[in-house]
Structures are given as structure tokens and as C-alpha cells.
Amino acid sequence: MNRRLLMILAAGLMSSCGGSEGADPAQCADGKDNDGDGFTDCDDGGCAVLEACGGFVYNGVEAGGAGDADADADADADIDTDTDTDTDTGSTGVGADLVISLLTVYPTVASPGSYVDVTYSVENQGVGPSGATQIDFRLSYDTIFDAGDSAMCFDAVPVIPALGYGANLVSCPVPIVAPYFYNLVARVDGLNVVYETNEFNNDGDTPLTVTP
């Protein structure tokens, strides 16, 4: 596994223990180990995912930023409001099967209008490469990704090869909602631009409490 990909995944797994380097982009060029994990600047997983340090990483290949030009073109700012179906509107990625293999959020308790760091990994379990797509993040009363959730943000996901995987870290704003024990829910390829062998395994969730 690529060293930078390992650092990104480690940043997500360690997020419950403390803040990640790169919460302030200036930390990624100050020569300091701001989160005490033994890594500094772009060698730290929290910074490695930022555009200045190379961005999205998958299968040992750096895609750059939040995705390549094709991914950016497919990443529409409009969030999908439909539940996932078994019929795609696109035709890319025949034989692909995208799943969210890691989803963490830091901090796990936040107030409306603040930002949280979301670390995720997408795996292609299929026998063919996926097309470029996006992953959407929402705030939900339950663990189900649906139209009743509050949109938070999205991220472009570039082409992932067969049996490959990718990871990134994005900062998402917490919607203006009443205090509650919510869940951050995610769906990869919610716009259905990738033809997958399984259209019902694209979701993930992790707890996120919103305080006054």
C-alpha cells in the first residue's frame, strides 16, 4: 500500500484520539509535528490529502487535488435527493463495484456552522475500473441516506481500478440543525454515473453529535 495512502487512513483511524494536522493549512508548511503523531507537513496524513500535498491517493497513484478533470466534470454541486436504485443513468465503469470501506469524522461532537474533518476510503470490489464519480455526505437522524437528510458536502472521486481503493480527507460544514445524536451518512456514486454490479452497497455512516 502507498505510504501516503497509509497516512491518510491512519489520520482517520486516529481522529478519535486528537485533532489532525492540516486543520489549518498553514500547519502543512511549518515544519512542526502539530498533532504529535511523529509526522510533519506533507508527510502527515492530515496534510497529505490537501491539494498542495498531492490530494486524493489511490492504489499507489496520486490523482491530484479532489480529483482529475474528468472527476471534477462529473462532480455536480447539486446533491442527489433520490434513494439508490438498481438502474444507472450513466454507462461508465462496467464491472465496477464501489463501497465505502472507511468513514470517520473529527470531532465527533460539533456545533451548527462549524466544520468537521471527514476521512473516507472507497474500494472498488469489481472486476473492472470505475468511472469518475463523487461521494456525498449528509447529516441524518438515522443511518439511512435519503432525501430527509441535511446536505453537508461532497468530494470528487477519480477512476479507481479493479480491486483498487482510494482515500481522502474533506472538511464539511455542520448544517444549522437542532441539537441531537445524529449520524454522518455518505453515499458514493449517488448520482449513478457508474454502472455497478451491485447498486445497493454504496453507503456508510458514523456518529456525529450536534450540540447547541
- Is residue 58 within 8 A of residue 159, CB to CB? The reply is no
All three cell numbers of 154? 461532497
pLDDT of residue 127: 93
pLDDT of residue 151: 98
Beta-strand pair 109-110/203-210: parallel
DSSP 70: H
Sheet harboring 57-58: ordered strands across? 61-62, 57-58, 165-173, 115-124, 98-106
Evaluate if residue 153 carries a pLDDT over 90: yes
Q: What's the pLDDT tens digit per position in 16-72?
A: 444 556 666 677 778 888 877 677 777 665 676 565 665 666 554 444 333 333 333
Cα–Cα distance for residue pair 193/110, rounded to 1 Å: 33
Segment holding 140, helix H or strand E: strand 133-140
Q: What's the pLDDT tens digit per position in 169-180?
A: 999 999 999 999
Give all domains of the chain, ordered by start, each with its CATH number: 3-210 (2.60.40.10)
Can you tell me the mean pLDDT for 149-174? 95
- Compare 190 and 16 and report the one with higher pLDDT: 190
All three cell numbers of 168? 481522502
Evaluate if residue 115 carries a pLDDT over 60: yes
Cα–Cα distance for residue pair 7/207, rounded to 1 Å: 23
Can you tell me the mean pLDDT for 114-137? 96
Closest by alpha carbon to 194, among 113, 70, 89?
89
Of 21-30, 50-59, 110-119, 187-196, which range is least confident?
50-59
- Is residue 153 within 8 A of residue 137, CB to CB? The reply is yes
Q: What's this model's pTM, rounded to 2 decimal places?
A: 0.67
Q: What's the pLDDT tens digit per position in 100-109?
A: 999 999 999 9
- Is residue 166 within 8 A of residue 56, CB to CB? The reply is yes
Mean of per-residue pLDDT scores for the chain: 78
